[in-house]
A and B are shown apart, each in its own frame.
Chain A
Amino acid sequence: MKSIKKYLVLVLLAGLGIFPNLKAQNDLQISRVFELYGDKKGSVMVELTDEMLEGYDFSLFKSITINNNLPAADYIRKCLAKDEAGAKKVKQVVSNGVPTSIYLQLPRKGQLYRLILFNETYKPVQKITLIYIESKNDSEDVLKLILKKK
């Protein structure tokens, strides 16, 4: 009887642990960036789902722009470095030894292609932009579309 109870509790705990991961971004370190800086002063966070992004055909678009926050930039770079470990494709621009522009093509999660874009500029002010995209289209096509719509 005791073992049955233990078993059921374990199943429940496993369930509670697994269900939150249904959100594809939750396995990524950058999800912490959105949680941490999303509602801070000087930040602009956007979350859009499919019905509003018809032109781009994204399932999920999530972005955050942070102004004048060097520690945030360092934190994001650390998160990206961890997410980079599981990335399929990585492109980056390094300026003075620091990556200022990063593109990560992540492995598919279910039917969704996922990619992360990061950019940091210093002129006129220090500005960080981090974007997370989920799409049913191939990441390369998504990137091409972004560049085309520039």
Chain B
Amino acid sequence: MKIRIKHKTDFSQVDYLIEKYYDGLTTVDEEKQIQYFLSQPDLPERFEAEKDIFGYYDHKKKKPHKSILPYFRWASAAAVLAAIVFSLQVFMNTNRSNYACIDGKKIYDVHQIKSQALESLQEVSSKTNEVEDGFKNLNDYQLIEQQLDVFSGL
């Protein structure tokens, strides 16, 4: 049985249903009727509390459905961009060229590059040897002796 309530004509039925609602005895259908009634404009003030209660449910019900499509669009755009950047980086790393740059001019001749590399290695290796030798020759005993020698004349 459906009751169509016109608030101007009959509040008693609504009062009855609200009372039933507070007692927890209403059916879903009856609650819908109360909701329908309360959604109408220009209701007496005494229905404010019920309006709040049902308004809350109503608001919850009417919450706009968010589409996830834009998120997917953004995510896919970001993924594509990240993939491009990553590919470029990997390409750049794997494609490290072997070259020598002499006075601003790039050369790719293997023998020339190698000889330049060896030349620079030899340049530092002689000095590195000096460092190594220096460390070998110098020990704590000698250092202390040298430092004490300074005071021997006193």
Q: Do A and B come from one complex?
A: yes
Q: Does residue A125 face the partner (Cβ distance < 8 Å to B)?
A: no
Write out the residue numbers on chain A whose beta carbons fall within 8 Å of the beta carbon of B78. 8, 11-12
Expressed in whole angstroms, the minimum distance between the Cβ of A140 and any Cβ of chain B is 11
Q: Does residue B11 face the partner (Cβ distance < 8 Å to A)?
A: no
Question: Contact at A101–B128, with CB atoms within 8 Å?
Answer: yes
Question: Contact at B86–A19, with CB atoms within 8 Å?
Answer: yes
Question: Contact at B120–A63, with CB atoms within 8 Å?
Answer: yes
Question: Contact at A49–B98, with CB atoms within 8 Å?
Answer: yes
Query: Given contacts A12-B82, A22-B89, A52-B113, is CB(A45)–CB(B100) below 8 Å?
Result: yes
Question: Contact at A143–B128, with CB atoms within 8 Å?
Answer: yes
- What is the bound-complex CA distance between A128 and B143, given in angstroms? 31
Query: Given contacts A5-B74, A15-B82, A19-B85, is CB(A149)–CB(B101) below 8 Å?
Result: no
Number of interface residues of B (CB under 8 A): 42
Expressed in whole angstroms, the minimum distance between the Cβ of B141 and any Cβ of chain A is 21
Expressed in whole angstroms, the minimum distance between the Cβ of B151 and any Cβ of chain A is 24
Which residues from chain A sit less than 8 Å from chain B, CB to CB? 1, 4-5, 8, 11-12, 15-16, 19-20, 22-23, 38-49, 51-53, 60-61, 63-65, 91-93, 100-101, 103, 117-119, 121, 127, 129, 131, 143, 146-147, 149-150
Write out the residue numbers on chain B whose beta carbons fall within 8 Å of the beta carbon of A150. 122, 125-126, 129
Write out the residue numbers on chain A whose beta carbons fall within 8 Å of the beta carbon of B12. none
Q: Does residue B110 face the partner (Cβ distance < 8 Å to A)?
A: yes
- What is the bound-complex CA distance between A118 and B132, given in angstroms? 14
Query: Given contacts A49-B96, A52-B114, is CB(A43)–CB(B134) below 8 Å?
Result: no
Contact partner of A60 (CB less than 8 A), chosen from B81, B96, B128, is B96
Interface of B, secondary structure class, is helix
- What is the bound-complex CA distance between A60 and B99, given in angstroms? 12
Query: Given contacts A8-B78, A19-B86, A117-B124, is CB(A47)–CB(B97) below 8 Å?
Result: yes
Q: Does residue B42 face the partner (Cβ distance < 8 Å to A)?
A: no
- What is the bound-complex CA distance between A52 and B98, given in angstroms? 8
- What is the bound-complex CA distance between A127 and B134, given in angstroms? 22
Question: Contact at A93–B96, with CB atoms within 8 Å?
Answer: no
Please name 15 further chain A to chain B contacts, defined as beta carbons within 8 Å, in addition to the given A12-B81, A46-B100, A129-B123, sorted by A numbering. Answer: A1-B71, A15-B82, A19-B85, A19-B86, A39-B104, A52-B98, A91-B128, A91-B131, A101-B124, A103-B128, A119-B124, A121-B127, A146-B128, A147-B125, A150-B126
